[in-house]
Chain A
Amino acid sequence: MSLTDTNNPDRQEWLSYQTGNLVVQLGEGWSEADQLPSRERSYKEKLSKCSEGDVVAFKGEGVRGDRPLQLATLLDWVRLAEAEGLVVDFDGLSPQAVSLMRLALAAPKKEKEVESDQDVFERIGRLFMARQGEKRQVYEFTGELMRSLVRLVMGKARFRGRDFWMCLEDCGVKALPIVALISTMVGVILGFVGGTQLQAFGSTIYMVDLVGVAVAWELGCLMTGVIMSGRTGAAFAAQLGSMKVNQEIDALDTLGLSTMEYLVVPRALALILMMPLLTLFADFFGCLGGFIVALQFDISPVEYWVELTGTLDLRGILRGIIKSFFFGIIVAGTGCYYGMFSGRSSSAVGTAATKAVVSGISWVIVCDAMFAFVFQVVGF
């Protein structure tokens, strides 16, 4: 009698149960996709009829070592039977299948750790505590950074001068082209917007004031802050994050070197020093962009110069410079913070860089808004 009926899986000849013994006969084609689900159903049905201590015997030549799906399904079935407290016997299979199954079952299955039931209040509490921990981290980082900067001023901080110069080059000279390009374009855009609108009143000359004031007061430093956050803040986070993954930060720690002084201070210092300079350049290039457009509106270079210097005094430029100094602190701080507290995997480094850019840009803009308010109040 053929027990391996491949044509009709519903005829359950391949499964036979006799007092305490379930025999599963696996012939060719038992694992075909169209048969497997119904077979699995009948198998589970039979299993539920067995009582604890019964033997489930797998037999037949239908399980081949080079067919992973068959072995995988068989393994699932064996585990099902074991979960029911049944004894499994698969010696009736081909020798290769037997040894592979032995190998797969050799190590005990790790049981899922049951998580303790958390009610809503506990969850809220935990979430809150986690948030508090994060806040604490921020305070600690800020405090440590301040302490290191004070030590630096007192000449006690230790870091490699070379690192500092390299950071300086990276935040300064290498960032200049992109800052120049973007601020020129911003100047051009402002010039066009102002020029076309003011043309209606026959006072195109005032576009010079618009470009000059907008660039020097706001957009020069703001665009520089945004560019540097995307460019350098992200780079800081990624560098420090991958140093963490490589245990380079641990190596500094165990040498007793302050990671704050060695890694964060040179980066922060370089960026804070370079931001005002870059802003000055951004102002210049913004006005240059405005100048290019001014020519289109028949404003002569001399007119442009006279109008620009008439409306823009040192105080206006200083507004941007003062803000850029703080933007430097924000960008360097967020970049280094998320880098230093990054997780230890490649995806965590990506997350750190993203967070650094997002919070860097957000805080730069928030800070800018606050300064607009403060300058208004103090009448600067």
Chain B
Amino acid sequence: MSKQEQEKKLHIEVQDLTMAYGSFVLMKDLNFKVYEGDVFIIMGASGCGKSTMMRHLIGLNEPAKGDILYRGESFVKASASGREQMVRRCGVMYQSGALWSSMTLAENVILPLKQFASYSDREAESIARYKLSLVGLSGFEDFYPSEISGGMAKRAGVARALALDPEVLFLDEPSAGLDPLSARRLDEMILELSSNLKMTTVVVTHELESIFLIGNNSIFLDVNTRTLGATGNPKHLRDHCENPMIRNFLRRGELNAIGD
């Protein structure tokens, strides 16, 4: 870990986390730290539990063992209301946007604003317009989710995640299923937003281009050993990781290292 990273403030810390569905252990003994302002990538092969990891971080799944700390405060042991407070400081974009289909894009953004912040109708509308502009969707306020494309739904999902000015933004597979240009634009938007809004961003993805473009820290979940494969800057991992399997993953299999 570089010196610069150590100076940064700790934001999320995961200690000895075990994730399980019933008696089936998905991942065990996970330990990692996310620092403030990081764009943190959770990567791994399909089905290794990346999305489940994210679901644990935002409290949708209970850990079988271990703890998750936000700014040193335990999320797992927190009371129900304490948890709610912590979750409200997180914005989440789900894989396909998960926009509420009976509401327009603006209404999707306004709902959290009206529920959890004391804005007047006019102010909330104005903020919704602004958030949608940030993700490049100005003028689409009155569209319904069924009327826009998949990429736009993802961006609208980001706008909704940003509604309450979260401290942490979680993005589940932001660039999956998009054409290369849209994917790149979305990645650039994520970078812009994370640097301008001073948020910590946690991204679940296995798109290599995204990983190298936006990530400055990462964990690799190893599906074979069912635990943490490696942690660090993805570019560094690609070039210097001791585990050949991970180097291979990050080079799209061009390094045929597993047989070595």
Taking Cβ atoms with an 8 Å cutoff, the residues of A that contact B are: 33, 65-66, 68-69, 71-73, 75-76, 96, 99-100, 103-107, 109-112, 343-348
Contact = CB atoms under 8 A, between A and B. Distances in A.
B140 interface: yes
A66 B165 contact: yes
Given A106-B136, A107-B138, 20 more contacts: A66-B197, A66-B198, A68-B130, A72-B126, A72-B130, A72-B131, A75-B130, A76-B126, A76-B129, A96-B196, A99-B195, A103-B189, A103-B193, A104-B138, A107-B136, A109-B133, A110-B137, A344-B146, A345-B145, A346-B101
Nearest to B163: A68
Contacts of B127: 68-69, 72
B139 A111 contact: yes
Contact of B196 (A68, A69, A99, A344): A99
B146 A343 contact: yes
Nearest to A345: B101
Contact of A110 (B126, B138, B144): B138
Nearest to A112: B139
Interface of B: 101-102, 119-120, 123, 126-127, 129-131, 133-134, 136-140, 144-146, 165, 189, 192-193, 195-198
A376 B102 CA distance: 48
Contacts of B126: 69, 72-73, 75-76
Contact of A65 (B102, B129, B140, B197): B197
A71 B130 contact: yes
B178 to A, nearest CB: 16
Contacts of B134: 100, 103-104
11 contacts: A33-B123, A68-B127, A68-B131, A69-B119, A72-B130, A76-B130, A99-B195, A103-B193, A105-B133, A345-B102, A346-B101
Contacts, number: 75
A103 B146 contact: no
A83 to B, nearest CB: 12
A103 B192 contact: yes
Contacts of B102: 345-347
- What are the 6 tightest A-B residue pairs by CB atom distance, in nearest-first order? A110-B139, A107-B136, A72-B130, A345-B101, A104-B133, A347-B102
A348 B102 CA distance: 9
A75 to B, nearest CB: 5
Contact of A69 (B123, B139, B140, B197): B123
Contacts of B144: 345
B192 A109 contact: no
A107 B137 contact: yes
Contact of B130 (A96, A104, A111): A104
Contacts of B138: 104, 107, 109-110
Nearest to B139: A110
Contacts of B189: 103
A33 B124 CA distance: 13
A75 B137 CA distance: 13
A355 B189 CA distance: 42
Contacts of A348: 101, 146
Contacts of A345: 101-102, 144-146
Most buried by A among B101, B102, B144: B101
A99 B189 CA distance: 12
A81 to B, nearest CB: 15
A38 B105 CA distance: 29
A176 B137 CA distance: 53
Contact of A100 (B119, B120, B123, B197): B197
Contacts of A99: 192, 195-196
Given A343-B146, A345-B101, A347-B101, A72 B123 contact: yes
Contact of A103 (B120, B129, B196): B196
Interface centre among A33, A69, A105, A343 (most CB of B within 10 A): A69
A105 to B, nearest CB: 7
Contacts of B123: 33, 69, 72
Q: Which of A344, A345, A348 has the most CB of B within 10 A?
A: A345
Contacts of A111: 139
A348 B146 CA distance: 10
Contacts of A69: 119, 123, 126-127
A65 B6 CA distance: 26
A249 to B, nearest CB: 16
A75 B129 contact: yes
A33 B127 CA distance: 14
